[in-house]
A = this chain, B = another copy of it.
């Protein structure tokens, strides 16, 4: 099954909204072995929408459309779908009831405009919307499927999970070959250094595919194998993974959708360890990442965002003289911060960061991008210096990633300079 994703909305074209829906849809459809070959974004204009529908309907088996289903005047997707299929818009009583119930539940008055959202093209089945008022549409015709959903990400995802994905799964028939993917997530190693470790890449891969995907969080290695059955694909992926781990294992923190913060959280949980974090330049981002996962109260005891020197001294008992002698951004202060947060919280690990994220605050000795990360555990304290770039937000993300990776290496007994 070959698919095209169409997102409708001027806000996407002019860059006001990030097309996170296409990325989500790409992922879940690929997981079903549906080949997403094209994503398109177009504006809220009838002529352009109709022309894109026609081209997609000619070339693909599945077309997934998002956006333009809201209650306001600039949303024209539903009428345009009706026009494309030459189908009447009819009032759907179930949808109307859902909308009314929703407003009653939220104790809000229903605006008359919301009633028009219960008008559905006759050719379509309505997909219920648990988080909003616009229904989705499921249309089957000429052996093809068109699915239309709201552009609001959580409304669309709910429809995918509860309705679309289960229904699509039923349709997918097994074919002669199986494609499987595995992504290994590395951090702390440059793309070209990593690449050169593979030697002759074609010989290494033996027909499999490998993509290098760099970002500020590290380089992802995406392996794709196509084999005759599930077992061969699994074995091939496994063999390649082991080969890669043999020379780059210490840089690999996870697979596929793993998040380093979740990996670290799980390691802490498994080993019954607790952590506390003292953050200066990351401003709370490390704690925020660690608490994105349910159950994080099991391992994160507390954090301190010690932006001012007073806060470093008062909360963490950092020695004022050390700040004067070495500067707030220094190995000594990083270690005292990690030691301080560990002591006051009584956790197994104390983590700290202090740095100059920029764009201002740099000096010749400590230019923008200079960061010290400190870590204390039952064996003592250590700190590492990093030199990141010029961009404040990228530096924050890199510092967070490097600090979390330092915890990962510490727990797993991987030397820090490896």
A201 contacts which chain B residues (CB < 8 A)?
72-73
User: Which chain A residues in 291-332 approach chain B with CB under 8 Å?
Assistant: 291-297, 300-308, 310-311, 314-315
Residue of B nearest to A196 (CB): B111
CA distance A220 to B303 in the complex (A): 34
A337–chain B nearest beta-carbon distance, Å: 13
Segment 4-56 of A: residues with Cβ below 8 Å from B: 10-20, 22-28, 30, 36-44, 48
Q: Does A414 contact B (CB under 8 A)?
A: no
Q: Mark A169-181, 1 if CB is under 8 A from B, else 0.
A: 0000000000001
Cβ of A363 < 8 Å from any Cβ of B?
Answer: no
Residues from chain B with a CB closer than 8 A to the CB of A305 are 277, 284, 287, 291, 300, 302-305
User: How many residues of A are in contact with the other chain, CB < 8 A?
Assistant: 106
With a cutoff of 8 Å between Cβ atoms, the chain B residues found around residue A40 in the complex are: 38-41
How distant is the Cα of A220 from the Cα of B17 in the complex, in angstroms? Answer: 10
Known: A283-B300, A302-B307. A113 touches B37 (CB 8 A): no
With A38-B41, A213-B16, A288-B285 as known contacts, state yes or no: A301 contacts B297, CB within 8 Å.
no
Task: Determine whether the beta carbon of A296 is less than 8 Å from that of B285.
Answer: no
- Please tell me if the beta carbons of A296 and B288 are within 8 angstroms of each other in the complex: no
Compute how far the CA of A12 lies from the CA of B213 in the bound complex, rounded to whole angstroms.
Answer: 10
Residue of B nearest to A10 (CB): B211
Contact of A111 among B111, B195, B314, B345 (CB under 8 A): B195
Cβ B30 vs Cβ A38 within 8 A: no
Shortest distance in angstroms between A282's beta carbon and chain B's nearest beta carbon? 7
Query: Is the Cβ of A307 less than 8 Å from the Cβ of B301?
Result: yes
Interface of A with B (CB < 8 Å)?
A: 10-20, 22-28, 30, 36-44, 48, 70-74, 108, 110-111, 113-114, 131, 133, 152, 154, 181, 183, 190-193, 195-196, 201-202, 209-216, 220, 222, 277, 279, 281-288, 290-297, 300-308, 310-311, 314-315, 344-345, 358-361, 389, 391-394, 396
Q: Which 10 A-B pairs have the closest CB atoms?
A: A283-B291, A284-B284, A15-B27, A15-B26, A303-B305, A284-B287, A302-B311, A39-B41, A284-B288, A285-B288
